[in-house]
A and B are shown apart, each in its own frame.
Chain A
Amino acid sequence: MGVTASLPFAVLAALALARGRFPGKTLLDGLIHLPLVLPPVVTGYLLLIAFGRRGPAGQFLEACCGITFSFRWTGAALAAAVMGFPLMVRAIRLSIEAVDRRLEDAAETLGSSRIGAFFAVTLPLSLPGVLAGVVLGFAKALGEFGATITFVSNIPGETRTLPAEIYTLTQTPGGDAAAGRLVLVAIALSLGALIVSEILARRLSSRISG
């Protein structure tokens, strides 16, 4: 969920970083990558301050769109999105940079607008990278623990992520068997995601290069 919602933003940010030349680009670059290097708990705490019930962004969103993040699954999704964001942006940016810019020029001489040329040429050509970004983001979301638990706590059925559940079970007497099952689930999910992405990537790149 978090990955899906943040994908358009990730593409946009990747495009800005790959192509843009504007003041503050380095700052944006740093900001996007911050969750990658910050301790997850710190990120979660910052999210709590900003998007919590009394945080400025949280209040605004609740007032305008009725979206509440604190202690809800939406919050967990937001945390997952923020944590996965830098990974997605990196992968997408690299693949956008790998596309020959002159193809966009050609598209423009054929009647495309700049944005149209991006969507008709560059984006389809960088789909394998976008996909890789999504898988990375998904993996990160799946494993998200620190930021989530700090931001929206560990509420069963609402904000409990897979690692949080496993952690909880290992802290409970007699939970080892259940934890073991979940570990297997985690392995299966991760492996499945990897395989699916590999197949998709292969199909995509063979479609792209003919």
Chain B
Amino acid sequence: MTLSVDIRRTNGDFTLATAFEAPPGVTAVLGRSGAGKSTLVAAVAGLTRPDAGRITLGGERLFDAASRTNLAPRKRRVGVVFQESRLFPHLSVRSNLLFGRRRRRDAAEPSFDQVVETLGVGHLLDRRPRSLSGGERQRIAIGRALLSGPRALLFDEPLAALDSERKAEVLPFLEAVARETALPVLYVTHALEEARRLADRLVVLEGGAVVAAGPVEQAVAKAGLASAGDRFAEGVTVEARIAELDEAYELTGVALGAHRIWVPGLIGAPGDAVRLRLLARDVALALDPPQRISTRNALTGLVRSVRRTGGPYVMVAVDVGGAVLKSEITARSADELRLAPGRVVHALVKSVATVRA
């Protein structure tokens, strides 16, 4: 069973125009707020009507503008887990879990006991949603969707409303569900980390359009998402040219001023322009030229500025000739190294992400 989406919807001056396929397994849809994620979710769930295109699930048309098909949500059998859980406050946890099951008696798999066990919610069955923690609520919402006899699952930022502790509590259950289910799962999120942990494939949505789709790491590279995680993390992006290739070790040498930065993989031919993204938290500083360490990229430069960022960290700008790198280190390190503008330092770059030029 494959979920296939090819739709267009205009709302004001925003247009969502997206096409991708979600085979069995987890397909993450990654995008910032305003990228069109909510519209996509609502369209697949049947809660909003696209202007054009079609949505099919295992060959059945859920929506098709051409033949004026638009199945009601209940006929689509897409189990949805919403960001705000949307449990029914007047029903017990048990009744919430069974809400869908009672309306689709033909749905036998998975069994109630199985779901309760997978999600570890057996002790909550007689409670009311109000008395549950955010993480527990989301687990119930997941169970409710699983028990509604779905042919596909749709997760709409299920962790976005939770603090990091609760996230960590729910993630293992999501992983268990992702592992065990044979259905196509669409996991919509703005957090690359979650996509990486859960998904087999990734669709990157930007401004309503798909900018990359495929196996997670390929799509990440193609969309130019910083490999170290969050693309919004502080760092610098520098333009440079490929100088040489080390084919034996599959490394690419990029000329940055007088320096050479080695990037994993053969990413182009000498002379090609590339864009490198260096995250501040991946750049360490040393006063002496480092020797015998695994980090290949050490660039000598001058401290330009030291800026407190709040908390235990400071942001150090280092001019390495040809580029100004940023390094996030603890304030204590900065004090111990007596970092101040004008000081010579060696910037150790732990990892570099290449962004398609």
Contact = CB atoms under 8 A, between A and B. Distances in A.
A112 B80 contact: no
A110 B100 contact: yes
Contacts of A120: 88, 99
Nearest to B45: A109
Interface string B79-116: 11010101011100000000110011000000000000
Given A113-B72, A208-B90, A210-B89, A105 B47 contact: yes
Contacts of B82: 102, 106
B78 interface: yes
B27 interface: no
A210 B130 CA distance: 6
A109 B74 contact: yes
Contacts of B86: 100, 102-103, 105-106
B336 to A, nearest CB: 53
A122 to B, nearest CB: 10
B72 A107 contact: no
Interface in B41-91: 45-47, 72-74, 76-80, 82, 84, 86, 88-90
B141 to A, nearest CB: 8
A121 B88 contact: yes
A111 interface: yes
B196 interface: no
A130 to B, nearest CB: 13
A108 B47 contact: yes
Contact of B100 (A111, A124, A209): A111
A29 B79 CA distance: 38
A116 B79 CA distance: 18
A102 B86 CA distance: 7
Contacts of B73: 105, 108-109
A112 B89 contact: no
A5 to B, nearest CB: 26
Contacts of B145: 109-110
Nearest to B77: A111
A207 interface: yes
B131 interface: yes
A103 B90 CA distance: 11
Contacts, number: 72
A110 B144 contact: yes
Nearest to B47: A105
B89 A108 contact: no
A111 B90 contact: no
A100 B90 CA distance: 13
A103 B104 CA distance: 18
A106, A109, A113: most-surrounded residue (chain B CB, <10 A) = A109
A209 B128 contact: yes
B145 to A, nearest CB: 8
A96 to B, nearest CB: 14
A21 to B, nearest CB: 16
Interface string A117-138: 0001100110000000000000
B112 to A, nearest CB: 15
B77, B86, B129: most-surrounded residue (chain A CB, <10 A) = B86
B163 to A, nearest CB: 22
B88 A107 contact: yes
B197 interface: no
A34 to B, nearest CB: 34
Nearest to A105: B47
Contact of A103 (B88, B128, B149): B88
Given A209-B128, A210-B128, A210-B130, A109 B89 contact: no
Contacts of A112: 74, 103
B148 interface: yes
A126 to B, nearest CB: 10
Contacts of B149: 111
Interface string A75-99: 0000000000000000000000000
A209 B90 CA distance: 6
**6 nearest A-B pairs in the assembled complex, by CB-CB distance:** A210-B128, A111-B103, A110-B100, A210-B130, A108-B73, A106-B86
7 contacts: A103-B86, A105-B47, A107-B99, A109-B80, A120-B99, A208-B89, A209-B130
Given A110-B79, A120-B88, 20 more contacts: A102-B86, A105-B47, A108-B72, A108-B73, A108-B74, A109-B145, A110-B99, A110-B100, A110-B148, A111-B74, A111-B103, A111-B149, A113-B72, A114-B72, A120-B99, A121-B90, A208-B89, A208-B90, A209-B89, A209-B128
Interface of A: 100, 102-103, 105-114, 116, 120-121, 124-125, 207-210
